[in-house]
Chain A
Amino acid sequence: MQDELRQKAQQALHKKAALGEEIDLDRFVAGGKEHSYVENLKSLPQEEKEDMLVAGVDTTEKQRTGSFILEDNTVVHAASFQDGLEVLGTAAALEKYEWLRDYYWNLVDIDTDKYTARAGLEGEGGYFIRAMPGVKAVYPIQACMFIAQEGLLQGAHNMIIAEEGADLQLITGCTTGRHIGSGMHIGITEIYVKKNAKITFTMVHNWSEDVAVRPRTVSVVEEGGAYLSNYISMTPVKSVQMYPTTYLKGKNSVARYHSIMVGYPGSNLDVGSRVVLQGEGSRAEIIARSLTRGGRIVNRGHLLGEGAGVKGHLECQGLMLSPQGVIHAVPELEARVDGVALSHEAAVGKIAQEEVEYLMARGFSEEEATAMIVRGFLNVKIMGLPEELEAEVRKAIELSEHSAL
């Protein structure tokens, strides 16, 4: 790392984050055990394969165009099976491509807060995924952030680049080994969507009860490009705070954020999505569904209109399934020029009695009726995922529901 970055990071090591509870990073083990490279995912221990599957990472690699696995802080696997798609560890990619320096710590500032600073100083674990101009991924690439060591601090720096006209789908599964209780994950992700390119970024969080997570993600979209983000968190986790931001720089660029999250007792989720609409005619949509079974969820959304003729809509729905939980919806609209059209709707409440009774009148018990409505509320259909990916995500949700109960 350049001295200048290192210096900035060092100065920010105690800088509080703008949002979220303070996490004491000294509680966690840095670095951790080194793991050896795995040529073939089939040779992973059966237990790890199962744990990864719950987060949408399929080690049989059926219907995948590439895989990446970060185990603790070691890149144990990085491969792509399609020409024009590259999957590398970020450290390796930085060595291979001099030009990548311009993309590195370019969208996310290393001194944003102590988490970015710490991740920056810990190293370059994380993936580099790139689609060459015009290349369309046949299947999604999968990336797994896996914590296998108790109490570990995992730091990842990810870079995703879709060159002009490329189409890339990525499913990132973040999970811990089944025996792991506590851990800390900091993920820096810088995403570049070039002219007329498209990235579908689907992240499934399947952490465990005492894991704290601080992703820091920024994306930039050029003319005619599209960035589609899906976030799913259905299992107990101690603390998540993230506010991924997209800059729609180019004319007619598009961003869409869909998130579905469940808060369990003891969980503290502060999750938002922000889109800065700069390019003329750019459009954004943010849809968030949060459900609490007793945890605290802050659901943020922020649309900033800075360009002519931009359009954005923000939708935030919260469902209270427990009297103990908290859902705090914070939708924000900000217009900085005239001629922008930004709107939002937010609704938070308990499940509608009328809907429960409708199903009860069809012969379902109250519990069955409630479960059907909850499943409907958390339906991934709203994400408009490609068919195979939707099936995968559905599977992951079912598995994680199972493991959460």
Chain B
Amino acid sequence: MLKVEDLHVAVGGKPILKGINLHIKPGETHVLFGPNGSGKSTLLGAIMGFERYQVTEGRILFKGEEITGRSVAERAKLGIGIAFQRPPVLRGVALGDLLKAVAPAPSDVGEMADPMHLASFLERDVNSGFSGGEVKRSEMLQLLAQSPNFVLLDEPESGVDLENIALIGQAVNHLLQKDGFNGEERCRREMKEGRSKAGLIITHTGYILDYVPADLGHVLYDGRLSCTGFNPRELLGCIHKYGYAGCTRCLA
């Protein structure tokens, strides 16, 4: 579904990503680890096509089409969606109005917002004065309305309290067609068949993995993916033990 080939990205003239290769197939969920400032958000931003991330080499393919030069809007129309780590405030734009405009068909935004505990936020300006956890729930809610085929989730659980993490987890599962997952291997396999939606999730703590089953993990380090393509939980264990730089040792 998504193929990133030898991607080099610079921000403000500074090279951040130095040759990323990544292949995410339909139905797969990948997890991206990496220290602060390693370029995780940069990778997501480059996939989404934000202007500040300049692709200097390599290419990005989505559903077989090269999208490297395409606008953000075109990529969104092709089915890519993103939950921002730190989204901007939209003054004067009410969350409810945005949701109405985002949803492909006329829908009851109150009904939509209720499960994310945001029904009372519909009149408020998008992200204005939202707490850290509220921002994350609002991002998920917007994605639920948009219902993309491929989601980029930038730290969806950071700053979210223990009860709301479950809520975020449910939303992610819904986005990734993983509803009904109850932790059993057998169930997971059954659901995998017929699932087409895919995603890439950035997490530091891995808490989201308690709710969302993921297929493969990668560590972004020094502009490249190291320890790429391993079980995400195992990978997390290695990072705990040996640190980001040393995680290769554990898996070698």
Q: Which A positions have Cβ atoms within 8 angstroms of B?
A: 352-355, 357-366, 369, 372-373, 375-379, 381-382
Number of B interface residues at 8 Å Cβ cutoff, please give it.
Answer: 25
B199 to chain A, nearest CB (A): 15
User: Is the CB–CB distance between A360 and B71 below 8 Å?
Assistant: yes
A394 to chain B, nearest CB (A): 12
User: Is the CB–CB distance between A366 and B93 below 8 Å?
Assistant: no
Q: What A residues does B76 contact at CB under 8 A?
A: 360-364
Known contacts A358-B87, A361-B81; is-contact A373 B93 (Cβ 8 Å): yes
- A357→B84 CA distance, assembly (Å): 11
Q: What B residues does A372 contact at CB under 8 A?
A: 90, 93, 98, 101
A370 to chain B, nearest CB (A): 11
User: Is the CB–CB distance between A366 and B88 below 8 Å?
Assistant: no
User: Is the CB–CB distance between A366 and B101 below 8 Å?
Assistant: no
User: Is the CB–CB distance between A376 and B92 below 8 Å?
Assistant: yes
Check B51 for interface membership: any CB of A closer than 8 A. yes
User: Is the CB–CB distance between A376 and B73 below 8 Å?
Assistant: no
Q: What B residues does A358 contact at CB under 8 A?
A: 84, 87-88, 90
Which of B51, B77, B88 contacts A355 (CB under 8 A)? Answer: B88
- The list of the 6 closest CB pairs from A to B, nearest first, reads A376-B92, A379-B92, A360-B72, A376-B93, A360-B73, A363-B76
Q: What A residues does B102 contact at CB under 8 A?
A: 362-363
Q: Which B positions have Cβ atoms within 8 angstroms of A?
A: 48, 50-52, 71-73, 75-77, 81-82, 84, 87-88, 90-93, 98, 101-102, 125, 142, 146
- Of B51, B52, B73, B88, chain A has the most CB atoms within 10 Å of the CB of B73
Q: What B residues does A363 contact at CB under 8 A?
A: 73, 76-77, 102, 146
Query: Who on chain B is nearest to A356 by CB?
Result: B72
- A377→B125 CA distance, assembly (Å): 11
Q: What B residues does A379 contact at CB under 8 A?
A: 91-92
User: Is the CB–CB distance between A361 and B51 below 8 Å?
Assistant: no
Query: Who on chain B is nearest to A363 by CB?
Result: B76
Q: Apart from A355-B88, A355-B90, A369-B73, what 20 extra A-B contacts exist at CB < 8 Å?
A: A353-B51, A353-B52, A357-B50, A357-B72, A358-B87, A358-B88, A360-B71, A360-B72, A361-B50, A361-B72, A361-B76, A362-B76, A362-B142, A363-B73, A363-B102, A364-B76, A365-B73, A366-B71, A373-B90, A376-B91
Known contacts A366-B71, A372-B101, A376-B125; is-contact A361 B48 (Cβ 8 Å): yes
A-B contacts counted at CB < 8 A amount to 64
- A281→B138 CA distance, assembly (Å): 40
- A352→B91 CA distance, assembly (Å): 11
B135 to chain A, nearest CB (A): 12
Q: What B residues does A369 contact at CB under 8 A?
A: 73
Q: What B residues does A354 contact at CB under 8 A?
A: 88
**What are 8 A-B interface contacts by the 8 Å CB criterion?**
A354-B88, A360-B72, A362-B76, A362-B146, A363-B77, A363-B146, A373-B93, A377-B92
Q: What A residues does B73 contact at CB under 8 A?
A: 360, 363-366, 369
Query: Who on chain B is nearest to A372 by CB?
Result: B93
- A375→B142 CA distance, assembly (Å): 20
Query: Who on chain A is nearest to B79 by CB?
Result: A363
Q: What A residues does B52 contact at CB under 8 A?
A: 353
B73 to chain A, nearest CB (A): 4
Known contacts A366-B71, A376-B90; is-contact A361 B101 (Cβ 8 Å): no
Known contacts A354-B88, A372-B101; is-contact A361 B93 (Cβ 8 Å): no
Q: What A residues does B101 contact at CB under 8 A?
A: 364, 372
Q: What A residues does B92 contact at CB under 8 A?
A: 375-379, 381-382
Q: What A residues does B98 contact at CB under 8 A?
A: 359, 362, 372
Q: What A residues does B48 contact at CB under 8 A?
A: 361
- A361→B53 CA distance, assembly (Å): 14
Query: Who on chain B is nearest to A362 by CB?
Result: B102
B137 to chain A, nearest CB (A): 16
- A353→B52 CA distance, assembly (Å): 9
Known contacts A357-B72, A365-B73, A366-B71; is-contact A377 B91 (Cβ 8 Å): yes
- A355→B52 CA distance, assembly (Å): 13
- A360→B146 CA distance, assembly (Å): 12
Q: What A residues does B91 contact at CB under 8 A?
A: 376-377, 379
- A379→B81 CA distance, assembly (Å): 28
- A252→B87 CA distance, assembly (Å): 40
Q: What B residues does A361 contact at CB under 8 A?
A: 48, 50, 72, 75-76, 81-82
- A378→B91 CA distance, assembly (Å): 9
Q: What A residues does B90 contact at CB under 8 A?
A: 355, 358-359, 372-373, 376
- A377→B90 CA distance, assembly (Å): 9
- A355→B76 CA distance, assembly (Å): 15
